[in-house]
Amino acid sequence: MPETWRYAYVSVRKIAYRILEKTPAVVIVAVEGALMYFATGMAKTVFTQIDPLCAAWYRFGFLAIMMLAWRRPWRAAVRRTLPHTRREWAVTAGCGLAIVAMNTMFYLAISELNMGMAVAMEFVGPLGVALITGRNWRERIGVGIAAAGVALLAGMSLTSPDGGRPAIGIVAILIGGTMWGVYIVMGRKVAHTGSPLDRLSVALCIGFAAQSLFLAIPAVKGLFVPSKTATWLASEGGWGIVHLLLLMLVVSVCSSFFPYVIDQVVMRKTTSGTFSVMQSMYPAVAVAVGLAFGEIPGIWELAGVACVMAAVVITFSDDERAPRHGRAELRPSLDTAA
């Protein structure tokens, strides 16, 4: 990298971190959520051009490439910090597979459900982990309220007159939420290593390789042989392909890469429990962003979202046990769930 470019990069990074450090954490989380779900709404517009699973492949592929370019795990200094034992490799691989399954199922779910409802229902993952690992009444009450909210949302989806296949969306988001819980467990083990971000970059590559076994061929074919529902992808020819790839790159940057980096700063400003409580606003943010894309929730759907948000607040509001050192990398980011 030329010295001028290197200096510009360092200067911009310092300015960005200085702004983030001075901005209240709750404001950062709100803006981050809006950025993530606006990008997710953009991704939903692509579903008319290519299959949602194929869109997930492009988003995750761009994320893996960006993480590799950032962390460069092939460097000699980094290779020494990568997994060495079979157990370490199993944990790293499990983390990557959980992340890719979570993202893929989320895209399948939002192709059949409103975004705000899907985001709320996916919280069953972290709430389930809290129930299993928790030792007080908060986890049990929180999960009970969340279960009521998810049941309400699922019931409203199944009885919706809008058509579609809501049952597929519900199953997909519950699988995605479960994988989110698995990622939290695996991610904590990765985070306790000396170089969690380097190992995360490797985990993403493993996940992308596994995803590619099933989706690479149909995703690439979908660009050159558009489906019958495709409009601008088919009519714009080569520019349509460029258009779609650039759109998915922006989606990946805004809904995955940037949020993960921003979370590192936020977690230095607050505790683990407080951060989780602030993230409870995400379903509401997703509902608000969904309005801009024509997703109008009903009163009972809003009630279900509110139940899940209340459950997150109750479950995590007293969680002050996470150590401050390295907290930025100990908490799995919600960017992977969006």
* Res 162: pLDDT: 65
Range scoring the smallest mean pLDDT among 40-44, 141-145, 322-326: 322-326
Q: Within a 13 Å sphere around the CA of 302, how many CA atoms are in the beta-carbon half?
A: 9
What band does 2 get if pLDDT is binned at 50, 70 and 90? low
Query: Which region among 78-92, 108-122, 243-257, 320-334 has the lowest average model confidence (pLDDT)?
Result: 320-334
pLDDT for res 302: 93
Average pLDDT of the residues of the chain = 85
- State pLDDT tens for residues 171-226: 999 999 999 999 888 888 887 776 788 888 999 999 999 999 999 999 999 999 99
- Residue 280's pLDDT band, with cuts at 50, 70 and 90, is confident
What's the pLDDT score for residue 335? 43
Tens digit of each residue's pLDDT (9 = 90 or more) over 117-174: 999 999 998 888 888 877 778 888 988 999 999 999 998 888 775 667 899 999 999 9
Query: What is the spatial distance between Cα 302 and Cα 143, in angstroms, rounded to a whole number?
Result: 18
pLDDT band at 272 (very low <50, low <70, confident <90, very high): low
Q: Minimal CA–CA distance to 103: which of 263, 273, 338?
A: 338
Residues 6+ apart with CB under 8 A from 275: 25, 29, 266, 267, 331
Q: Which two tokens stand for residue 18?
A: 């200085």
